[in-house]
Amino acid sequence: MVRLSLSGVAIALAALAGLVGYRASTFTATPPPSAVQIPELSSYAIDAEAAASRLAEAIRFRTVTIVGDDGEPAEFERFQAWMQARYPAFHAAAKRERIGGRALLYEWRGSDPGLPPMLLLAHQDVVPAPEDTRAAWDVDPFAGIIRDGAVWGRGAIDDEGSLVGLLEAAEYLAASGAAPKRTILFAFGHDEEFGGEGAISIAASLAQLHRRAWFVLDEGMAAIDNHPLTGKPASLIGIAEKGFATLRVRAVAQPGHSSMPPPETAVSSLAVAVTRIHSMPIERGLDGGPALPMMRALAADISLMNRVAISNEWLFRPLLRQRMAGSPVALALLGTTVAPTMINGGVRPNVLPAEAIAMINFRIHQRDTAESLMRRARNAVSGLEGITLDWAAPPNEASPISSTTSSSYALIAALSRASLPDAPVAPGLVVGGTDARHYSEVAENVYRFQPLLLNTEDMAGIHGVNEHVSIENFERMIRFYIGLMQAGAM
């Protein structure tokens, strides 16, 4: 009996080991994009120093996003006039249209109207550099300084870097007499950092004209020098971005003096409601988002142990869960995140408030919807008295997931490889928001990739202090964009 069951276990284990081994060995990288013809990026005669000085000039415009009446509309006027003056060949070749005030749409018309256009995005606005952070900056954030081989200032990466990089590339081609076969559209929103109304208007205008792009390329991801899974460089092409929704939790209760309180006050009810919603069940896993294709693309560089664990998720789930629970990066990649961010209520320590309010920010993974989250939040607070839930603003759902087998992905991937041969190309999930999300109705696929190699310090500068881009990196970006326009449209 004992013998039999032991051998049974042994056989089961052997079979399991076989299966585990088999799955790990079949869990390999998807084959590289079929041979895409791309030009030799190093052949372009780029004056990187001159291009860097133009990026520095662009940074000097204080195009901080205008929220309500707060901002300088004239700065955007001046910035746009500067674009026209600095990039004359491109402006002579392309048609410029202002949409809804400050957003810009350029059309560089191709000779073959049958080809769907390429749509390249960047935004004109930047986040502020608040006074209380100025002491931490090594330079004046709006002085546009070139120092130590880099261009410094707010917008160097996000996103005047992209905007000026695209203009440099288009000017280079237009000045050399190149003309596209495929139309190239450039869409430069003016309020990406707050709402993206510019992008919404441009997308609506394209939809109205029944124009549908081959693909969209925007910021959102980049090449990073140290991928958390492999410890090596990787070019991450964002194929999707998470949704954004903020839940308002309101607790009401009898107001009065705090000397003889009822069992629950608005504050205590709110605290319970927030805690319950914060810990409500959220599904996390490799399926249903870019996580699995990303790991497949990086499989060759992932350690065998991790590969075995990941490829046999059904078996190693508890272990994986335990490991991922400590990693905000992994949690954000694998599921919706729930972050209580604001709480407000009461005016005096000895007064029972009539109302207390909290905000809980969700970043919605592709497997969830705002509606399903609202349903779960309502379940979580059921039975609590005086609690109401609503969205603080209309939620943005998670974006669709773009293809990794399309011709446009193959083109971007091939250019990334040429640009950074040591960095394998992998799809990724953008956990923040970009203008790109507004274009999914007017493009076959939407990708988010800045052809820059960023390290931790570079990334800390985005929306932080000491934002800068090295001239070498900026030059890499210009070469990539020239290659993209040439290979994709000429």
Distance CA 150, CA 371 (A): 46
Distance CA 486, CA 118 (A): 11
* 52-81 positions binding Zn ion, by CB under 5 A: none
Spatial neighbors of 185 by CB under 8 A, at least 6 apart, are 105, 106, 107, 108, 117, 118, 119, 120, 206, 213
Tell me how many residues contact Zn ion (CB under 5 A).
Answer: 2
Q: Which of 125, 158, 191, 458 binds Zn ion (CB under 5 A)?
A: 158
Among the residue ranges 152-160, 197-205, 271-279, 346-354, the one whose residues contact Zn ion (CB under 5 A): 152-160
Catalytic member of 75, 158, 191, 192 = 192
Spatial neighbors of 350 by CB under 8 A, at least 6 apart, are 257, 258, 259
Q: Which is nearer to Zn ion, 418 or 436 (CB)?
A: 436
Among the residue ranges 159-167, 251-259, 366-374, 450-458, the one whose residues contact Zn ion (CB under 5 A): 159-167
Q: Which is nearer to Zn ion, 110 or 433 (CB)?
A: 433
Q: CB of residue 272 vs Zn ion: minimum separation in angstroms? A: 38
Does residue 112 carry a catalytic annotation? no
**Should residue 125 be labelled a site residue for Zn ion when binding is judged by CB under 5 A?**
no
Strands (E), 2-43: none
Q: CB of residue 119 vs Zn ion: minimum separation in angstroms? A: 17
**Should residue 241 be labelled a site residue for Zn ion when binding is judged by CB under 5 A?**
no
Q: CB of residue 123 vs Zn ion: minimum separation in angstroms? A: 6
* 326-365 positions binding Zn ion, by CB under 5 A: none
- In the structure encoding, which two tokens stand for residue 114, read together? 């049958």
Q: CB of residue 320 vs Zn ion: minimum separation in angstroms? A: 32
Q: CB of residue 204 vs Zn ion: minimum separation in angstroms? A: 21
Q: What are phi and psi of 487, to 5 degrees?
A: -75, -30
* Cis, peptide link before residue 159, omega less than 30° from 0: yes
**Should residue 159 be labelled a site residue for Zn ion when binding is judged by CB under 5 A?**
yes
Q: Which is nearer to Zn ion, 162 or 183 (CB)?
A: 162
Alpha-carbon separation of residue 346 from 161, 257, 290, 353 (angstroms): 45, 12, 43, 5
Identify whether the C-beta of residue 209 lies closer than 8 Å to the C-beta of residue 401: no
- What type of residue is 363? R
Q: What are phi and psi of 223, to 5 degrees?
A: -85, 135
Does residue 158 carry a catalytic annotation? no
Q: Which is nearer to Zn ion, 172 or 474 (CB)?
A: 474
Catalytic member of 125, 158, 168, 368 = 125
Binding site for Zn ion (CB under 5 A): 158-159
